[in-house]
Structure formats: C-alpha cells, structure tokens
A and B are shown apart, each in its own frame.
Chain A
Amino acid sequence: MQCPWCYIGKRKFEAGAAEFAQQGGGEVEVEYHSFELSPDTPVEYEGTPVQYLSERKGIALDQVEMMLERVTGIAKDVGLDYDYDHVHQTNTVISHELIHFAKSKGRQLEMKERLLKAYFINGEHVGRIPDLVAIAVELGYDEAEVTEALESHRFLADVKADVALAQEYGIQGVPFFVIDGKYGVSGAQEASAFANVLAQVASERDAS
C-alpha cells in the first residue's frame, strides 16, 4: 500500500497486459495479495514520510527529499501525480483488511486502485477505520457492514495468510508478481517485460 514502486509497477503491469491483449493474448486475470513492509509503523504517526524514512534509515532529510522527488518524477512518467507533501505515513494493515473485504464482494481491483490513489495522490489517511469506511461508502458499500468488518478484524487472518504465503515463496520485496503460480517477476519492470512473460505463459499453456 505504501510502496511507491507498487503503484508504478501496477501501471506498468497493466500496460504490459494491454500489450499482451492487443497481440491477441486475451484477458489477464489479476488478484492482489497483501504484503506488509513495516508492520510496526503506528497508525497515528505524526511526522511526514520524509521524517519517517530519515528516522528509520538514518538518512539525512535532504537526501530523503531528493529520493522522493526522483520517485515522484518516475511516477509522473506513468501518469501518477504523487503528492508526498500530503501523504499520511501510517500502519496500513486495516486497509489490507478492506481490500480483502472488497475481494469477498468480487470488487478487489477497484478497492486496490482507490486506496493507492488515496495514499499517494489524494493525501487521504489509509490507516484509520473511519477514513477507510468513508472511502468504502464512497464506492457504494454499506457503512454498517464495512464498519463491522473492519472493527471486528474479520479479514485480518486473510491478510496474515497472504504474508505467510509470501514468506513461503521467499518474497522479500514488492512489487512482486506471481504469474500462473509458476513464474516470479520482481519489481516495477517495463511493460514489455510483463507482456513477454504473459506471452510465454500463454504459449506454454497452449502447448500443454
């Protein structure tokens, strides 16, 4: 959720999948899995992402600012207007629970995109239940139902199961793409790389 390369990688993957479809490869079915980068981050972290990274990594504030400026520039290249001046650094585990809630309704992709936009572009808080409920209600979900789901942490076990699966696979960083349960593609690759992998998987399926 807070990984800048994940939103960039999502756009690149989508472009690769579109390229694959244009070449007659067909539609690609996508499912997102949870991965927590820093599960010990407090929900109510008061500082900025620059302060957070500087404190956590022992890097000078100006160096972190330069790093985020570079990431923001790269995001712009794929049409994403990151706004780090208004990003709320937080613990995102409940937003992952919300994605699983949406998945249970068959609407996971829509929620994933909306939450990434909330965090990186809109400056919305994605750690607090009331803020997440507001986002869900905006998408048409029932307020009482989503509030109950998040307050009871009904989907926390699903989040933890995803994290455990990633550990089994040996995944240490994100974005990470598991394709056909067989291939692993690490990082925000170029769109053409994703198109090539999808074409390879499709040809193997055709041959079997």
Chain B
Amino acid sequence: MDAATKPLLIIGSQDAAVCEGDFCEIPEHHTQAQVNRQLDADLV
C-alpha cells in the first residue's frame, strides 16, 4: 500500500505508552495504577 497517499486514521487513547528514539515514556496513569495496586496490597 502507498502510505504517502493513504494517511492513517489515528484512533485509540492518545496517552498510551510509547518509545520514541531511545526514550520510553511512562504515562502518568501507569504510575498511578501501580501506586493504587500497592495501596491495595498494603505495600505503601
């Protein structure tokens, strides 16, 4: 397929985790979800 003439329609959450270059972002919701799980397990 010719990507240049058929651009993709971007869908889904815009803040999902990605790696760009040699840096991999950790979105805030992942960090908060981990803290929540630790709270649930009485680890914090």
Contacts and interface: CB of A to CB of B under 8 A. Distances in A.
Contact of A37 (B3, B16, B21): B21
A187 B12 contact: yes
B11 A197 contact: yes
Interface residues of B, number: 26
Given A70-B34, A74-B30, A74-B34, A3 B19 contact: yes
Contacts of B34: 70, 73-74
Contacts, number: 95
Given A67-B26, A165-B3, A193 B12 contact: yes
A116 interface: no
A30 to B, nearest CB: 16
Interface residues of A, number: 41
B12 A186 contact: yes
B23 A57 contact: yes
Nearest to A184: B8
A53 B19 CA distance: 12
Given A8-B17, A70-B31, A169 B3 contact: yes
Interface of B: 1, 3-4, 6-24, 26, 30-31, 34
27 contacts: A4-B19, A5-B18, A9-B17, A41-B22, A53-B23, A56-B22, A57-B22, A67-B24, A70-B26, A71-B24, A73-B34, A74-B26, A169-B3, A169-B7, A174-B19, A175-B18, A183-B10, A184-B10, A186-B12, A186-B16, A186-B18, A187-B13, A187-B16, A187-B18, A188-B17, A193-B13, A197-B12
